[in-house]
């Protein structure tokens, strides 16, 4: 080989190495579309720094920040247009995310966890109406907060963040089963409600005459009261542990007995009878008035006889 040929071959080899190094220096990019001849098939492994999936994201209108284009994708490493199925090839049409599991006991589980700092951990599901047109863009949250040594220790919170990023807790469920509504600390109560309670079975505090009809006085209050029997008793706590009755001696009335006298004071849930104790107040008021009338009449009669 002549000296000239050797120089030419060396330059050609250096040029090939240069082109080869450029190929490795540039980041590989694969665009998968529905148009031929784009790559298709099954991949054992697919890696990408960022990924956007969907027809709208294909083309030059969308780009990743900090690049400039019509629509910039920011703060996201994975963007999906349409429905996502995890564990299912047929996600429910109205669900953006459908998680399904065939494993026993058939639980499709989504787990959200947060890292701890300063004896606190916080993980939450945030429900945002995404209303950027008004100043009332409130965000509801279902959160698990664990703050050692406080009322928030390992509790589930239902609350809201307002437009000023101020948090409000509307309900709390603690690990011991105690529930607080309107308060973050139910204390030793199974249910602690800060505010007025209304039930569909009636509203004891609703008293406006405009809500009522067929109004009649209670004329036989003393007779009705005389038929009621107050009792002392102990709860059958061992037979009904989920009722949390307690073991102390208690006082009250028997619903089955009251039902025979005033059935409007008794209601039933799941086959068990309950008593509206607060509804006894009007009956007691009329009974006291009737008894006072009898006392006044006897007093007048005695005064007349003593003259």
* pLDDT range class, residue 152, cuts 50, 70, 90: low
pLDDT at residue 252, as a whole number: 95
Average pLDDT estimate for 251-271? 93
* pLDDT range class, residue 26, cuts 50, 70, 90: very low
CA distance 193 to 113: 29
Same domain, 224 and 153: no
Question: What is the enclosing helix (H) or strand (E) of 1?
Answer: none
| pTM of model > 0.75 | no
Buried b (16+ CB within 10 A) or exposed e, 86-113: eeeeebeeeeeebeeeeeeeeeeeeeee
- Work out whether the CA dihedral 43, 48, 54, 59 comes out positive or negative: negative
Of 149, 147, 150, 127, nearest to 137 by C-alpha is 127
Average pLDDT along the chain: 78
Same domain, 14 and 69: yes
pLDDT at residue 197, as a whole number: 72
200 is a domain residue: no
Average pLDDT estimate for 10-31? 50
pLDDT at residue 23, as a whole number: 47
184, exposed or middle or buried, with CB in 10 Å at 0-12, 13-18, 19+?
buried
Of the chain, the percentage scoring pLDDT greater than 70 comes to 72
Most confidently predicted of 54-63, 160-169, 229-238: 229-238
Same domain, 188 and 223: no
105 is a domain residue: no
Same domain, 173 and 218: no
Token code pair at residue 126: 């945030």
- The set of residues, in sequence order, having a beta carbon less than 8 Å from that of 103 and lying 6+ positions away, is none
The pLDDT tens digits for 98-130 are 888 776 655 667 777 766 666 667 777 777 766
Asked if residues 266 and 259 have their Cβ atoms less than 8 Å apart, the reply is yes
Same domain, 31 and 85: yes
Average pLDDT estimate for 265-292? 91
Asked if residues 269 and 290 have their Cβ atoms less than 8 Å apart, the reply is no
pLDDT at residue 224, as a whole number: 94
Asked if residues 91 and 108 have their Cβ atoms less than 8 Å apart, the reply is no
The residue with tokens 């990924």 is 51
Same domain, 81 and 8: yes
Same domain, 217 and 170: no
304 is a domain residue: no
Of 171, 175, 166, 207, nearest to 192 by C-alpha is 171
Same domain, 183 and 140: yes
Parent domain of 149: 120-193
CA distance 97 to 80: 10
Asked if residues 141 and 160 have their Cβ atoms less than 8 Å apart, the reply is yes
The pLDDT tens digits for 176-187 are 888 988 887 888
Same domain, 181 and 227: no
Same domain, 187 and 238: no
Question: What is the enclosing helix (H) or strand (E) of 123?
Answer: strand 120-128
CA distance 231 to 76: 67
Three-class DSSP category at 187: coil
The pLDDT tens digits for 190-231 are 888 887 676 666 677 778 899 889 999 998 999 999 999 999
CA distance 19 to 55: 34
pLDDT at residue 135, as a whole number: 58
Q: Please give the distance of CA 122 from its chain centroid, rounded to a whole number.
A: 15
Local structure of residue 242 (DSSP, 8 states): G
- The set of residues, in sequence order, having a beta carbon less than 8 Å from that of 52 and lying 6+ positions away, is 62, 73, 78, 79, 80
Cis peptide before 105 (omega within 30 of 0): yes
Task: Please count the structural domains in the chain.
Answer: 3
- The set of residues, in sequence order, having a beta carbon less than 8 Å from that of 126 and lying 6+ positions away, is 139, 140, 141, 161
Of 245, 247, 250, nearest to 233 by C-alpha is 250
Asked if residues 138 and 160 have their Cβ atoms less than 8 Å apart, the reply is yes
- Choose one of 164, 193, 222: the last residue of a domain: 193
Local structure of residue 258 (DSSP, 8 states): H
73 is a domain residue: yes
Token code pair at residue 172: 């709390």
């Amino acid at each position: 080989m002549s000296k000239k040929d050797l120089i030419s071959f060396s330059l050609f080899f250096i040029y090939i190495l240069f082109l080869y190094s450029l190929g490795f220096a540039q980041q590989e990019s694969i665009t998968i579309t529905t148009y031929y001849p784009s790559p298709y098939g099954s991949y054992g492994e697919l890696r990408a720094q960022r990924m956007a999936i969907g027809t709208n994201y294909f083309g030059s209108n969308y780009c990743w920040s900090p690049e400039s284009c019509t629509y910039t994708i920011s703060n996201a490493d994975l963007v999906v247009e349409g429905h996502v199925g995890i564990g299912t090839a047929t996600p429910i049409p109205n669900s953006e995310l459908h998680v399904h599991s065939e494993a026993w006991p058939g639980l499709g589980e989504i787990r959200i966890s947060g890292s701890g700092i300063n004896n606190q951990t916080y993980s939450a599901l945030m429900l945002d109406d995404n209303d950027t047109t008004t100043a009332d863009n409130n965000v509801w949250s279902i959160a698990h907060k664990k703050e050692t040594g406080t009322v928030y220790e390992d509790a589930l919170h239902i609350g809201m963040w307002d437009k000023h990023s101020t948090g409000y807790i509307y309900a709390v469920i603690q690990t011991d089963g105690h529930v607080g509504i309107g308060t973050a600390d139910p204390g030793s109560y199974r249910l602690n409600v800060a505010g007025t309670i209304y039930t569909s079975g009636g509203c004891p505090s609703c008293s406006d005459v405009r809500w009522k009809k067929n109004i009649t006085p209670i004329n036989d209050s003393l007779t009705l009261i005389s038929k009621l029997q107050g009792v002392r008793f102990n709860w059958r706590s061992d037979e009904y542990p989920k009722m949390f009755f307690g073991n102390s001696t208690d006082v009250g009335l028997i619903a089955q007995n009251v039902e025979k006298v005033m059935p409007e004071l008794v209601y039933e849930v799941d086959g068990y009878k309950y008593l509206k104790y607060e509804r006894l107040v009007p009956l007691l008021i009329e009974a006291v008035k009737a008894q006072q009338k009898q006392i006044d009449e006897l007093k007048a009669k005695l005064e007349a006889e003593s003259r």
